[in-house]
Structure 1
Amino acid sequence: MRKSLGVLLVSVLALSACGSGDDSSEDRTSAAASCAPSSGPVNLTYTTWIPGIENVVKVWNDKNPTIQVKVQTGPNGNGGTYQNFFNQLKAGNTPDLGHIEYDALPSFRVQDGLFDVASCDIVAKAKDQFIPWTWNQVSFGDEKSAWGIPQDSGPMALFYRADLFEKNNIPVPKTWDEYAAAAEKVKAAGGYITNFSQSDINQFAGFVWQAGGRWFANDGQQWTVNLTDEKTKKVADYWQNLVSKKLVSTVPPWTTEWDNAYNSSSAWTWVSAVWGANSIMSGAPRTAGKWRVAPMPQWTAGEQVAGNWGGSATAVFKNSKHPYEAAQFALWLNTSEEALALLNKEAQLYPATTAGTQYSYLGNPVKFYGDQKIYELFAQAAGQVTPDFTWGPTMTSTYTDASDGFKAAVSGKGTLNDALAAAQKSTIDTLKSQSIPVKE
């Protein structure tokens, strides 16, 4: 499946390149083959939303006076940075490097916005340093290409308020049935078991990933879109029930109101990815020491399956005048122990390299989580993520369409399954409008 994904994206790119004016395929091929060191000092720009990234980049700049990197920070990808990237691509003024999540990479690839860093000899030699499934996320199954350097992965688990569960004699749920039962008890105690995101569909995709739903597939010739398969419907029905019974809050994520829900003990859990540790630490400082992490609730008791939410790559945009140096920085950022340790300290990122998962700092107790060694649990979760989840080529628009429907559903207008059905139709229409082969 992964190999056909790579082949299909190449064919899609060829279709989208037709009638593209001066930017011919020959020009792009020539540019991709020209990954060679620049002469003289180099200044690079890098746009990301990683907390504390300035401290990491400073280490690079101090050690590399002839290759300086300027950091530009912005909102998370779906919060605006991706749209900025697309606008910059049209204007021809993108940064040299950009932070792009795995699920969004195909959208940029189809728009011919990325430089194939596999053409840089230093990248080709580094492939074996990465966990295989993360490399597939940037290569789309094509062994000769790489549209970014894997940075992190997002295995999911259950963040929960240990003090509140203990005080109210509520067992920490191990299954989704137990989670729903706990939601009733939490509501009776005056809280919400969690906040259901009405706009960040990436989290819902992680729930579907764990449940075995598969939204996209291809056979090397055309895409199949299925946002309404039985596993997805099961997940949607589950959360619709909690929403309808008002057992979950539905405030917009990544807002002050969202932070306050966790900081005020209104929301008791969050099923999130490893990077979520930082979100709680920064958004709910008054709750330090009260949180713990447990495995993600299971659909069947005794199973050990995790979803994945997020995971990112450091991509080089095709407009970069210094792709070799950009790739050199991206490799350092995502393979050196020094940089990976800082990324974990500043943003709780979980590395995508095989060596990174063995670094001693991942075994350190985390004070905010009651000195629990949370990364050991996430290391287990990373091995419980099934690797065969395929992202579609227009995920940014798919997320937007689904989000519109989710917002309506939480306000009582339709259901989550209605929203997914509408998003499926709009996704197929979007693929057709871009001349991307899709099965009806």
Structure 2
Amino acid sequence: MNRRLRPHRAVAVLVGTVLAATGLSACGGSGDGGGTARVSAADLDKALDKPTDLTVWSWSASLPDVAKAFEKEHPKIKIKIQNVGTSTDQYTKLQNAIKAGKGAPDLATVEYSAMPQFALSGSLVDLHRFSFDSLEKDFTKATWESVKSGDGLYELPLNAGPMAMFYNKKVFDKYHITVPTTWDEYLKAAKKLHDAAPGTYIAGDNGNAGLTESLIWAAGGRPFSAEGDKVSVNLQDAGTKRFAADYQKLIDGKLLMPVNAWSPEWTSGLTKGKIATLLSGAWMSGTLKSGVPGGSGDWRVAPMPTYDGKPASAFTGGGSLALLKQSKNQLAAAAFLRYVSIGKGADITQASGSFPARADVLKSEKFLGEKDEYFGGQQVNRVFADSLSAVRPGWQYLPYDAYATSIFNDKVGKAFTGSITLQQGLDAWQEQLVEYGKDQGFSVG
């Protein structure tokens, strides 16, 4: 659910075709009163007393345990968790089912970045129907904004991906690198490190759409906006240009290890101390523990470098469950969705290593004060919580973000080989995104 850094692939044909297939207007629901009339919490509770089978598509490792706990409390409900593929693979299957008008699950994991395209197509149930908008106070502001599209509410937040800088303290200490707090300091640290050890890099990047979007967000860029079928794409705004100019210096200086995130070479670089930092979401702590177990005690977490020294951050990753309009059991499905995000299910997910979106947990001294031995006993949750508070407001994803990320390397990836500049790559990306949006029926400016 959280690997926003992973490049999306093989979706150029199918992603977005659901918009043309269903039109841009919302359609009615189905099953147990699947219209737009509001239902009460009591109605949801009653639905749990009826024998019901629910199907959930998700690649979440913790969700099967959540389902078992829910079934124990509500024995008349049977939940089948199906892993039909990760991220884009699942979205492609989901869009095929939506286009066919049958075969979709009751609920599906949808990342915050992908949610708008499904919401705009009218494929998801607006959770205002269940008065879930009353739960806004239970979640952090930044995650709540991530589950809305227009006036609709299409998920309840489950996890958050506030960005931080993970750094290898052992490597930093060996080469006398001071932990950078600004981008100027980050660039200087990158050069000092690579000069001292040519086979060691401040970071690894060979073109990564998710990371690029998040860094633009943190820099204050707002290149995308959408309201109904009106879309704006502007990858020449001030924040985007600021990011591109500084990141270009890393590329020009050959200060980035040319590897794809999640590749064997990337994992090897982290394991051997050849990649010294990761700019990523809070969930990366779990990835390091599982993927680089030998690094225990070597790594630490610090705030993201900023341009002026003032806190500024963004999300990368994060997602929750969306309720499909094809569901014939919307009340029971909504009850399970509520349990996952605000009930005991949220505790189970958090215990698996997911960073929480619930406001009360992020105010808990017990949670904030937990010492993480992998990170040398550091209270890393405080860093992540501070980052969450510093997430810049107002970011929007394109309603066809999955398509955008699928073509990123074709357009922007060339910048990492030096054949074009990063800004030229972003300009070419914009040109293709505008053309594609128009082909899908959007009014793009």
Q: Report the TM-score when normalising by structure 2.
A: 0.86
RMSD (Å) for aligned C-alpha atoms: 2.7
Letter of the aligned partner of 2:145 in structure 1? N
Q: Give the equivalent residue in structure 1 for 2:93.
A: 84
- The CA distance in 1 between the partners of 2:168 and 2:201, in whole Å, is 12
Q: Residue 153 of structure 2: SS of its match in structure 1? A: coil
1:74 positional shift = 5.4
- The CA distance in 2 between the partners of 1:127 and 1:253, in whole Å, is 34
- The CA distance in 2 between the partners of 1:395 and 1:86, in whole Å, is 14
Give the direction of change, closer, same or farther, for the CA distance of 1:32–1:351 in structure 2 (3 Å limit): farther
1:216 to 224, 239, 249: 224
Give the direction of change, closer, same or farther, for the CA distance of 1:96–1:258 in structure 2 (3 Å limit): farther
Note the residue ranges of structure 1 that are not aligned, 5 or more in a row.
1-12
Note the residue ranges of structure 2 that are not aligned, 5 or more in a row.
1-15
1:41 to 51, 58, 67: 51
**Which shows bigger deviation, 390-399 or 230-239?**
230-239
**Which shows bigger deviation, 426-435 or 130-139?**
130-139
- The CA distance in 1 between the partners of 2:435 and 2:416, in whole Å, is 25
Give the direction of change, closer, same or farther, for the CA distance of 1:407–1:18 in structure 2 (3 Å limit): closer
**Alignment map for 1:24-423 (pairs within 5 Å):** 25=27, 31-33=34-36, 38=47, 40-73=50-83, 75-78=85-88, 80-91=89-100, 92-121=102-131, 123-142=132-151, 145-187=152-194, 188-189=196-197, 190-199=199-208, 201-217=209-225, 222-300=230-308, 302-336=309-343, 338-346=344-352, 348-359=353-364, 360-423=366-429
- The CA distance in 1 between the partners of 2:221 and 2:211, in whole Å, is 14
Give the conservation status (yes or no) of the 8 Å contact 1:340–1:356: no
Letter of the aligned partner of 1:209 in structure 2? W
Give the conservation status (yes or no) of the 8 Å contact 2:150–2:227: no
Q: Residue 165 of structure 1: SS of its match in structure 2? A: helix
Deviation per residue, 1:20-77 (Å, 9 max, x gap): 6xx9946679733376655732222222233343333332233222222222235542
- The CA distance in 2 between the partners of 1:44 and 1:312, in whole Å, is 20
Give the conservation status (yes or no) of the 8 Å contact 2:143–2:157: yes
Deviation per residue, 1:127-157 (Å, 9 max, x gap): 4322234333323242xx3212211222111
- The CA distance in 2 between the partners of 1:83 and 1:70, in whole Å, is 20
Percent identity, aligned pairs only? 30
Letter of the aligned partner of 1:31 in structure 2? G
**Which shows bigger deviation, 415-424 or 371-380?**
415-424
Q: Give the equivalent residue in structure 1 for 2:6.
A: none
Letter of the aligned partner of 1:72 in structure 2? Q
Give the conservation status (yes or no) of the 8 Å contact 1:117–1:323: no
Give the direction of change, closer, same or farther, for the CA distance of 1:303–1:27 in structure 2 (3 Å limit): closer
Deviation per residue, 1:165-213 (Å, 9 max, x gap): 11221111111111111112222223111111523x1211111111111
- The CA distance in 2 between the partners of 1:74 and 1:166, in whole Å, is 44
Give the direction of change, closer, same or farther, for the CA distance of 1:225–1:243 in structure 2 (3 Å limit): same
Letter of the aligned partner of 1:354 in structure 2? A
- The CA distance in 2 between the partners of 1:399 and 1:214, in whole Å, is 16
Q: Residue 150 of structure 1: SS of its match in structure 2? A: coil
Corresponding residue pairs, total: 416
Letter of the aligned partner of 2:35 in structure 1? A
2:438 to 426, 429, 432: 432
**Which shows bigger deviation, 214-223 or 275-284?**
214-223
**Which shows bigger deviation, 176-185 or 358-367?**
358-367
Letter of the aligned partner of 2:205 in structure 1? F
Letter of the aligned partner of 1:59 in structure 2? A
Give the conservation status (yes or no) of the 8 Å contact 2:117–2:401: yes
Letter of the aligned partner of 1:136 in structure 2? E
1:438 positional shift = 2.0
Give the conservation status (yes or no) of the 8 Å contact 2:105–2:327: yes
Q: Report the TM-score when normalising by structure 1.
A: 0.86
Give the direction of change, closer, same or farther, for the CA distance of 1:288–1:55 in structure 2 (3 Å limit): farther
Give the conservation status (yes or no) of the 8 Å contact 1:162–1:291: yes
Give the direction of change, closer, same or farther, for the CA distance of 1:235–1:64 in structure 2 (3 Å limit): same
Q: Give the equivalent residue in structure 2 for 1:7.
A: none
**Which shows bigger deviation, 126-135 or 158-167?**
126-135
Give the conservation status (yes or no) of the 8 Å contact 1:45–1:95: yes
Give the conservation status (yes or no) of the 8 Å contact 1:154–1:275: yes
Letter of the aligned partner of 1:41 in structure 2? P
Deviation per residue, 1:323-378 (Å, 9 max, x gap): 11111111111112x433332231x3222222232343343111111111101111
**As a proportion of its length, which structure holds more helix?**
1
Q: Residue 32 of structure 1: SS of its match in structure 2? A: coil
